[in-house]
Structure 1
Amino acid sequence: MPVSATASAREILTNLHDVMASRSPAQAKLNSVVRIIAEALDSEVCSIYLLREGLLELFATVGLSQEAVHVTKLAPGEGLVGTIVANVETLNLAEAATHPDFAYRPETGEEIYHSFAGVPIIRRERAVGVLAVQHADPRRYADVEIEALQTVAMVLSELIANADLIDATGAPSTRPQATGAVRVPGFKLVEGMAAGVAVFHQPRIVIEHTVAEDVEAERHRVYAAFDKMRDQIERMSNQAEFGVGGEHDEVLATYKMFAYDEGWARRINEAIDSGLTAEAAIERVQQRTRMRMREIKDPLLADRMHDLEDLSNRLLRIVSGQLGTAAQMGLRQDTILIARNLGPAELLEYDRRRLKGVVLEEGSLTAHVVIVARAMGVPVLGRVRDIRRLIAEGDRLLLNSVEDLLVIRPTPAMEEAFEAKLALTQKRRAAFAAMKGEPPVTKDGHRVTMMVNAGLRDDVAALDLTGADGIGLFRTEFQFLVSATLPQRERQQRLYRDVLDVAGDRPVVFRTVDIGGDKALPYLDHAEGHDEENPAMGWRALRLALGREGLMKAQARALIEAASGRTLNVMFPMVSEPWEFDEARALFEAQREWLRGRGKPLPTDIRYGAMLEVPALADVLDFLWPSLDFLSIGTNDLTQFLFAADRADPRLALRYDWLSPAILRFLRRVTKAAQEAGKPVAVCGEMGGRPLEAMALIALGIDRLSITPAAVGPVKAMLRSLDRGAAMAEIDRLLATPARTLRPALEDWAKTNGVELS
């Protein structure tokens, strides 16, 4: 179509404005709408389906049989129209019948039409209908035509809602469906326990008018709103209460970059040019963002899109002048904040004295709000589905993200149990803190090296809090994940130097960047792995780094320069064969020589390690020992590879036990090989942070653990109550004639021998 999307949409909206302003019945208006759209897009068919009584009913059409109007009905998920509503997605097909969800309805007479394009009609974030066009010739509709349809669909949502043509749009009721106590599962994003009343973060802003009377006036309103929003973000960045120098600084810098993104502002302006009001234009672009988010499988890119959604909400509140968030109204008592998702700047607006916890319907470990919440010390529970159906404003909540649990409207007995658990947790924490100066030595005098895992600059403070021996795994990829662009070498170097400075004379093992798989970066063009069926075993970690030599060279140089005058411990992830390790080590050595040639200060020594996560490496370790300084076993990935079981699949999560004979025998074989070669071996992963599993590891001969800071106290208490020699004899006996799992037998043995596992 030789016109722009803006021109198409403006032409249609101009005609629609007259239709909507008329006194005609709603059905007559819809009949006019389909004719206007069909003529403007030169399309042989235009149809509107609306959601009524749970079914999508053909309400108006030009091109299809009029006898099908109010007769043809589809369930959400049924046919192309039902698929659009179920997935809140746009379809654009040259041959509609080839789509797997195509459903033929003979009463419509649509068999002569090949092409099909449909967009959802959205009301309050829910698809309530479909606007579709069809053509006899097989062709995909142009992007500008789809843009015009999406803009028109937004205006239609106002028309059909005002005419009461659709089902209730799912706006949150003031009271939840349940009124008694409810226990709801979630996913721990920031660990902690908190109690308070439920406060919803954001009232829904309802857009009253979508079609603009004066385009220039609407444009000036948006410009003014952008200026005010940017001022707010600048003030928040300068007033962040938890200080400077952490990853949250980088998060806010990335967030600020979105606020100044000219592409986002341009898209809103284009929507205004098409004839939308300022509010409708912002909402139009936001709808497009939401639909993209539903299509994005990459969690990191989805998190960045959430930042843009947060900014859109802020801009919409400013331009509409409607009531703001709960933060702007002020918190009056201890509060658990409820939100679908949050941006980092929105969290910073809340009074830290009153904000005790956050519950999100969505959320992920890499979301920007989680990084900021961790820095603020606010516990966060995520992935709590349909929370607005369960909670009413002001309900009493007990948040325990340690146990992935939210209790709504607790009974007095639940409150009492929670308070007892909180008191016990605080008591144990105090006991473990008092133990931080005690060495991790078994009852029979064997010293175990206890290290912590880290990924943020702020995590390094755990060394002093726990009394750990050092950092056994510093995940360098986190800096890459929170950045909107590839971190420059100087920025990487500054982070690594800061970590080494805080650690002092305690060792830090830097794992080179482990990205790819479920940690894809939106700013890297990694099309080779974009459609991987099993990303955990795909183009990731060392494989990706060696394939992108420039990325790894920059990181190598940053690490080497940051460690000048000190020992640099560097470890390569997911090594499958010795040549991969040798190639990575050679790259680092080449960078060391390059820096030496330019007179740069260098580390006193570089120690090279490998992570054993791929079982194949265990059978070729004899080739690796001559060039390897230390070995770390990554039990999380190792377990899923050894059992061919996706650790993220809930059906398999409990099926394969870390205390199964297969895992323990494998670990014993690797440990013996390392001891015979005179190489230190450590376990990095969740297995080492659980007292019973850690006891089994010590019994296998492993004497180096790198675990989460929270696990140091419990594992140290276990160690100091353990007779290592007796445990080694017991596990040898159990592995000689093993059961399906050694867990019950080891628990009984620990109890009998007074081993502290609580």
Structure 2
Amino acid sequence: MPVSAAASAREILVRLHDVMAARRPAQAKLNQVVRIIADALDSEVCSIYLLREGVLELFATEGLKQEAVHVTRLALGEGLVGTIAANVETLNLDEAASHPDFAYKPETGEELFHSFAGVPIVRRERAVGVLSVQHADPRRYEEVEIEALQTVAMVLSELIANAELVDGRGGETDRVQSTAPVRLAGLKLVDGMARGNAVYHQPRITIEHTVAEDIEAERARVYAAFAKMREQIDRMANQAEFGVGGEHDEVLETYKMFAYDEGWSRRINEAIDSGLTAEAAIERVQQRTRSRMRQISDPLLADRMHDLEDLSNRLLRIVSGQMGTAAQQGLRQDTILIARNLGPAELLEYDRRRLKGVVLEEGSLTAHVTIVARAMGVPVLGRVRDVRQLVAEGDPLLLDAGESAAFVRPSAAMDEAFEAKLVLSQKRRAVFAALKTVPPLSRDDHRVTVMVNAGLRDDVAAIELTGADGIGLFRTEFQFLVSATLPQRERQQRLYRDVLEQAGEKPVIFRTVDIGGDKALPYMRADDEAEENPAMGWRALRVALERNGLMKAQARALLEAAAGRTLNVMFPMVSEPWEFDEAQALFEAQRAWLAGRGRRLPGEIRYGAMLEVPALAESLDILLPKLDFLSIGTNDLTQFLFAADRAHPKLAERYDWLSPSILRFLRRVIGPVDAAGVDLCVCGEMGGRPLEAMALIGIGIDRLSITPAAVGPIKAMVRSLDVGGLRTVMADLLAQPPRDMRGTLGAWAAENGVELA
């Protein structure tokens, strides 16, 4: 037996090289492969099982009965071979029959053999077959033998894919383990339906050649790739490309730890010694990492292993020369994008005509990409576990984010049902589009103001498309989030002027930049340590008042952009009246500075605040005399009231917006605001849902700022509503809340003909 795994594998690969290069049928090659492996490992049996039509078929064997070839079949999970393929794991047993998953197949004659070892044949993270060896005497195979088998299995995957021997479409794109439809469950991040083909944000690297011609040349390629990768990681640290503070710093430190880990580079070198190319060696070590990840129950340790996987992908891209994302390569068809996670700038790189939806392995309701996707009208499903293992590049996908599901390789029945629902949805959208010139006037002539939320220059077109009353919330931080450097004042001014000009006579409310906390900017370094609760941390107005140079520049940009017009400015996350006072004083100082230099200024400045922090509700008597308007941000307000992080997957949908706690709190705010004659608006996702919007109107809200897609449904709801009757009912319900407020309101709406699309 060879003295090392590398020597053992290299001995086999040298002999396999000639087999693979020969012009012979694939079956003949496999027959020769099992003889070579059995001989090299001094094993009495060597067998290859391949996945065909969803089951594992004995394709070639040395040592078992030849009449069993193409006859013996095992389902995924059946027997030792089926267990290896189903779990993508290695088994090494001195007594095969003692394993609980052992299944005896009499036609093979395997009752003569006691020991068993098997490794999965993996193609793009999926088992497409199993390579096994057996021996008459009970013994566990040595570690060097197992490693040799794993290396050989990698080379076999290339031969098998090129010969198109397994399920799928050969080397072009391999199926998971069957062509059966799969339903993926996740968390609705952005509502909507979409159809398209799966495209990976970072396309998978196809390893075309696994056996090295020149080991030293391959080693030099890996050394060069490591040097380039480490240079990239160091540059990230110096330029803070990863963002700063909190998780970003932790990720960067983990990346640096792995990038300079000698054990990792040594294992890749050992794989090259066994006769693999640089790409195959990296993938070989990566397969071992994935195998370890499947056995890890500690979520923190599993996350670190995911970081190593990401870094391995980076190294593989460098060594193969296949850099860039799918956006940079260009979309060629209607696409459902698949990614572990995305940043807002990355999403904006994609062609909106082709990008139909997004499925994320991670993602949260508060993530920047979710906000941008909602503004773009792109449905997003997040928290889809193992999506990158369950979906192959090019797979047809149906995305129904409203149902928190996506359907991979849908059946004809699934496709038909989806199409029927989509057609109905499109008809409803056509009905809503027809309402764009119709005011949101209730049956009892109560006018509700319906505005849109925006953050991009292109979003302003939604005013005309929907017939909205204006922009109730323009998120100025989008320009900061998608920029590699701090946007200069001139750039900011140009954006704000364009927005005002496109809006015409309709009002635009600019929210000053809401950054920090979980919206870390790559070019702003936090002074303090990592934040455990970034949503409640150093962000929004807190950042702006401390780093007031940024706010001064934004103030001048807004003041000059709104020359001769009315400027509506809103400050986010005001917790105390003095914070509003300082922010207003800063704007007024900039107005005086510009006036002193003869600059043209707005005809009027209206100042407002966002009520997101519950504490502000206790100071309204102090604040209201200073305000022109107040906006309620229901997204943050809800998580603060319930002490529930909306980004946490277990809490994201735990608390209902129609809870009496929320509705009573809002009603308590409405009274003094109305009495003070201050405009009050709800600027959160709550206002864009028909049933929730109905409840808000029922407690006295007359102004909503919502996503453009929600304007039509909300208009339709308002026009079918008797506001006076609703407000009487809501007063009774909040006096004595029912156990199921949502169900009670839904039933009332149905009885009274309220349209809840």
TM range (shorter): 0.5 to 0.7
Separation in 1, partners of 2:411, 2:203: 28
Structure 1 residue 25 displacement after superposition: 2.9
Residues 515/24 of structure 1: CA separation in 2 closer, same or farther (3 Å cut):
same
Determine if the alignment matches structure 1 residue 562 to structure 2 residue 561.
yes
Question: In terms of mean alpha carbon deviation, does 404-413 or 450-459 score higher?
Answer: 404-413
* Aligned position for 2:539: 540
Conserved? CA contact 1:453–1:471, under 8 Å: yes
Indicate how the Cα distance of structure 1 residues 281 and 366 shifts in structure 2: closer, same or farther if over 3 A, else same. farther
Matched, 1:204 2:205: yes
C-alpha distance in 2 between matches for 1:631 and 1:178: 56
Once residues 474 and 349 of structure 1 are traced to their aligned partners in structure 2, the CA distance between those partners, rounded to angstroms, is 21
Q: Distance in 1 between matches of 2:338 and 2:492?
A: 35
Unmatched 5+ stretches in structure 1: 1-22, 31-122, 127-156, 226-263, 292-296, 298-303
Q: Is the 8 A contact 1:475 1:512 kept in 2?
A: yes
Alpha-carbon spacing, 1:578–1:346, altered in 2? closer, same or farther (3 Å): closer
Cross-structure match for 1:580 = 579
Q: Distance in 1 between matches of 2:641 and 2:505?
A: 37
Residue 591 of structure 1 corresponds to: 590
Deviates most, 671-680 or 748-757 = 748-757
Counterpart of 2:645, as a letter, is D
Equivalences for residues 145-544 of structure 1 within 5 A? 164=150, 174-177=174-177, 180-187=180-187, 192-198=192-198, 202-206=203-207, 213=217, 315-318=318-321, 336=336, 338=338, 340=340, 357-362=357-362, 381-392=381-392, 395-528=395-528, 530-544=529-543
Matched residue, 2:72: none
Q: Distance in 1 between matches of 2:180 and 2:728?
A: 52
Q: Which residue of 1 aligns with 2:232?
A: none
Structure-to-structure mapping, 1:581-730, within 5 angstroms: 581-730=580-729
Q: Is the 8 A contact 2:611 2:630 kept in 1?
A: yes
> Does the 8 Å CA contact 2:673/2:680 hold for their aligned counterparts?
yes
The question of whether the paired residues in 1 share the 8 Å contact of 2:474 and 2:509 is answered with yes
Letter in 2 for 1:186: G
Q: How does 1:99-178 map to 2 (within 5 A)?
A: 164=150, 174-177=174-177
Q: Give the aligned partner of residue 26 of structure 1.
A: 5
Q: 1:555 to 1:385 in 2, by over 3 A?
A: same
Paired AA for residue 384 in structure 1: V
User: Are the counterparts in 2 of residues 191 and 379 from structure 1 also a CA contact under 8 Å?
Assistant: yes
User: 2:546 is aligned with what amino acid?
Assistant: G
Identity of aligned residues (%): 64
Distance between the aligned counterparts of 1:618 and 1:533, measured in 2? 25
Q: TM-score, normalised by structure 1?
A: 0.63
Native 8 Å contact 1:310 1:342 kept in 2: no
CA distance in 2, matches of 1:384, 1:487: 35
Aligned AA (2:185)? P
Question: Which region of structure 1 is more displaced relative to structure 2, 515-524 or 673-682?
Answer: 515-524
Aligned to 1:755: 754
Between the aligned partners of 1:668 and 1:742, the Cα distance in structure 2 is 16
Shift of 1:517: 2.1
Cα distance in structure 2, aligned partners of 1:603 and 1:521:
30
Matched AA of 1:646 = D
Output one character per residue of 1:141-182: Cα deviation in whole Å (capped at 9) or x when no partner: xxxxxxxxxxxxxxxx99996674799899999442465432
Q: Quick one: which amino acid aligns to residue 25 of structure 1?
A: S
646-655 or 608-617, larger mean C-alpha shift: 646-655
Task: Say if 1:441 and 1:719, in contact at 8 Å, map to a contact too.
Answer: yes
Contact 1:358/1:379 (8 A) holds in 2:
yes
Following superposition, the deviation at residue 753 of structure 1 comes to 1.4
Q: 1:456/1:124 Cα in 2 relative to 1: closer, same or farther (>3 Å)?
A: farther
Residue 360 of structure 2 contacts residue 380 of structure 2 at CA under 8 Å; is this kept in 1? yes
Which deviates more, 388-397 or 602-611?
388-397
Name the aligned partner's letter for residue 571 of structure 1: M
Tell me the amino acid that sits aligned with residue 489 of structure 2.
R
Tell me, which stretches of 5 or more residues in structure 2 are unaligned?
10-121, 126-142, 162-166, 168-173, 230-254, 291-299, 301-306
Kindly indicate whether the alpha-carbon contact (under 8 Å) linking 1:124 and 1:169 is maintained by their aligned counterparts in 2.
Answer: no
Largest Rg, 1 or 2: 2
Deviation at residue 355 of structure 1 after TM alignment: 6.7
Q: Is 1:202–1:339's contact at 8 Å kept on the other side of the alignment?
A: no
**Preserved contact between residue 8 and residue 144 of structure 2 (Cα < 8 Å):** no
- What is the identity, as a one-letter code, of the residue corresponding to 2:500? L
| Distance in 2 (alpha carbons) for counterparts of 1:744 and 1:727 | 15
Q: What letter corresponds to residue 430 of structure 2 in structure 1?
A: A
Deviates more, 1:731-740 or 1:621-630: 731-740
> Structure 1 CA distance, aligned partners of 2:625 and 2:281?
61
- Aligned to 1:527, the other structure's residue is in SS state coil
Alignment check: 8 A CA contact 1:660 1:740 kept:
no
Deviation at 1:545? 1.2
- How far the C-alpha of 1:395 sits from its partner, in A, is 4.6
Where 1:706 maps in the other structure, the secondary structure is strand
Q: Tell me if structure 2 keeps the 8 A contact 1:178–1:390.
A: no
Distance 1:374 1:735 in 2: 32
**1:549 offset after TM fit, Å?**
1.1
Q: Which moved more, 1:158-167 or 1:455-464?
A: 158-167
For the 8 Å contact 1:368–1:482, the answer to whether it is kept is no
Range moving further from structure 2, 465-474 or 635-644? 635-644
TM-score, normalised to structure 2, is 0.63
In the TM superposition, what whole-angstrom CA distance separates every residue of 1:54-88 from its partner, at most 9, and x where no partner exists?
xxxxxxxxxxxxxxxxxxxxxxxxxxxxxxxxxxx
Provide the residue aligned with 2:102 in structure 1. Answer: none
Q: Could you tell me how far apart the structure 2 residues matched to 1:477 and 1:460 are?
A: 16
Q: Do the aligned residues in 2 keep the contact of 1:187 with 1:382 (CA within 8 Å)?
A: yes
Change (3 A) 1:694 1:374: closer
Change in 2 beyond 3 A, CA 1:701/1:361: closer
CA distance in structure 2 between the aligned counterparts of 1:330 and 1:569, rounded to whole angstroms: 39
Q: 1:595 to 1:159 in 2, by over 3 A?
A: farther
Between the aligned partners of 2:489 and 2:642, the Cα distance in structure 1 is: 38
Give the Cα separation in 2 of the matches to 1:500 and 1:158.
Answer: 70
Contact map agreement 1:205 1:317 (CA 8 A) in 2: no
Q: Distance in 2 between matches of 1:503 and 1:706?
A: 15
What is the aligned partner in structure 2 of residue 38 from structure 1? none
Between the aligned partners of 1:579 and 1:682, the Cα distance in structure 2 is 22
Q: Quick check: 561-570 or 580-589, which moved more?
A: 561-570
**CA gap 1:647/1:465 in 2 versus in 1, 3 angstroms:** same
Secondary structure of the equivalent of 1:624?
A: helix
Would you say how many aligned residue pairs link Structure 1 and Structure 2?
563
